[in-house]
Structure 1
Amino acid sequence: MDHQTLLTNYLSNLEVDLFMVNYNRCGTDWRDLDYTPDYSKLYWICEGEGWLRIGDQEYYPKPGQLFLMPEGIKQSYSAISDKPFLKYWCHFSAKVGGINLFQILQFPHVVNVEQPERFQDIFGSVLTYANSNEIYAHMMAKSKLTELLSYYIMNLDVNQITYLNVPVVEKLSTLLTYIDSHIEENMSVQDLAKMLHMHPNYFIRFFKQHIGMPPIHYLTSRKIDKAKEMLHCTSLTMTQIAGNLGFSDSYYFSRQFKKHTGLNPTEYRKQSTVTT
């Protein structure tokens, strides 16, 4: 698979989630040093001065520059004068097959935005939809966030994007895609380990190292995510949902659901209906 085809494959399977977005001026006390966020950030600088450190690289951003600060990388920031940044910013996640995009691909931290008026419109739309109560607003905010990331990538040379441990990423992406498409089955650790030609004990360590939890916990978590969707979008009974997702019985399903969400399935369905 060539460079561009592999890159296209990853980006076409990108799933984003938006946690926070705003447009404001930083205070002169804007400062945090040597922290490692569990979310990624975009900063689009409109005015002012400041300092960033991303990993071991330091920057003094200028108006018109867009900064990408990936999750899991040590960072620092600070105001440096009485003219702090005025910026659009957002916190988000970007995943491919359940894996943090920035564990798969390495991007430049900064690009100079061409057509800033268009970019401002997109970022402004993210903010507008994020603050809306319309039922479609969160979907639109995520769509506009994807557009922001696409626009960021459009301002790059494709050769500036590099891959991090491609063989491991391909194995995990294949495995996680398989899990999602066979979520109704009773998959065992042995079955999954066999897919990657690994001993089960080694596979458990490998999976936890890269995904952050043991495979059985991940399987259950994905089943619960699917159960939430079924409870919200269908009228299936608890017994039917439990059976469709491969749980041994509705009691075990209910117990696992409450363990992960704090609510039993019936309570979750009622709450989901009310909040909608």
Structure 2
Amino acid sequence: MNNSTLLTSYISNLKIDLIMADYNLCSTDWMDLGYTPDYSKFYFICEGEGWLKIGEQEYYPKPGELYLMPEGVKQSYSCISSQPFRKYWCHFSVKAGDMNLFKILELSHICSSVDREIVKEMFSSIVFHAKSSEIYAQLLAKSKLMELFAYYLSKLDLNEITLKNLTTVEKLTKILNHIEANIEQNITVHELAEIAHMHPNSFIRLFKKQLGVPPIQYITRKKIEKAKELLTATTSTISEIAMQLGFSDLFYFSKQFKKNAGLTPTDFRKQMQILHFE
């Protein structure tokens, strides 16, 4: 698999969640130094002056420029004159499958070759729907954010997109594909470690560092996702579904299901049936 193919694979599986968005005039005391957010940000500068630092790079954004500030990277910002920024902005998280995208890719922080009207329309729509109380509004806001992210990527040259830790990424991709394809089996850490050609202890540390949870917890979560599908789409009993997914203990299955889904399997199925007939 070459870099271009792998890059396409990750981008095509992006999951984006909008946290908040707005359009406003910054105050003259707008400033924060040396913080590391656990969310990513887009800034679209409409007017004014200011200063940003993303990692070790400093910027003095100009109107019409779109900035990406990725999560997990130390950042600073401040107003630098009596003419602060007026900007659109949003906070969001983005993953490729189950991996934080910015653990996989390093992207250019600035995109200056954008069409101002196109970006303004996208951001205006994101902000409008993010503030709406309509039941479908958050979905529309998320779809517009996905469109904005795709637009940002489309304006970058390939040399402005760098795959990080390529060997690790390919290894984890192979592991996640194996879990997905064998979710009904009893998948063990030793089995996954062998596929990765690693000692089990080293594999567990790597997996948790990249995905945020130990492999067994990840597998259990995936099994519960599959159980939700089976409870919704089949008439199999809860016991049959538990056995199908490798849970020999029905009580343990129900406990894990409620922990992950917030409902017991029985209540979840009832809820899905109610929604289906409404």
**Partner amino acid for 1:106?**
E
Q: Which residue of 1 aligns with 2:139?
A: 139
**Aligned partners of 2:161, 2:131: CA distance in 1, in Å?**
33
215 and 33 in structure 1: CA distance in 2 versus 1, 3 angstrom threshold: same
TM-score normalised per structure 1: 0.86
For residues 226-262 of structure 1, give each alpha carbon's deviation from its aligned partner in whole angstroms, at most 9, with x where no partner exists: 4456667777654354345433343212212333455
Number of equivalent positions: 276
Q: Which residue of 1 aligns with 2:39?
A: 39
For residues 175-218 of structure 1, give each alpha carbon's deviation from its aligned partner in whole angstroms, at most 9, with x where no partner exists: 11332343332211112112212222222122123222211122
Work out whether 1:75 is the aligned partner of 2:88: no
Q: Which residue of 1 aligns with 2:164?
A: 164
SS in 2 for 1:247: coil
**205-214 or 226-235: which moved more?**
226-235
**Partner amino acid for 2:211?**
I
**Aligned partners of 1:20, 1:246: CA distance in 2, in Å?**
40
Contact 2:103 2:210 in 1 (8 A): no
Shift of 1:45: 1.0
**Partner amino acid for 1:76?**
S
SS in 2 for 1:90: strand
Identity rate of aligned residues, in percent? 57
Shift of 1:265: 4.3
2 and 188 in structure 1: CA distance in 2 versus 1, 3 angstrom threshold: closer
**229-238 or 36-45: which moved more?**
229-238
183 and 54 in structure 1: CA distance in 2 versus 1, 3 angstrom threshold: same
Shift of 1:112: 0.8
272 and 124 in structure 1: CA distance in 2 versus 1, 3 angstrom threshold: farther
SS in 2 for 1:114: coil
56 and 258 in structure 1: CA distance in 2 versus 1, 3 angstrom threshold: same
For residues 7-64 of structure 1, give each alpha carbon's deviation from its aligned partner in whole angstroms, at most 9, with x where no partner exists: 2222122222222222222233322221111111111111222221111111121111
**Aligned partners of 1:59, 1:115: CA distance in 2, in Å?**
20
Q: Which runs of 5+ in 1 are unaligned?
A: none
Q: Which runs of 5+ in 2 are unaligned?
A: none
**Aligned partners of 1:75, 1:153: CA distance in 2, in Å?**
21
SS in 2 for 1:246: coil
**Aligned partners of 1:230, 1:124: CA distance in 2, in Å?**
40
**Aligned partners of 1:162, 1:28: CA distance in 2, in Å?**
36
- RMSD of Structure 2 on Structure 1 (CA): 2.8
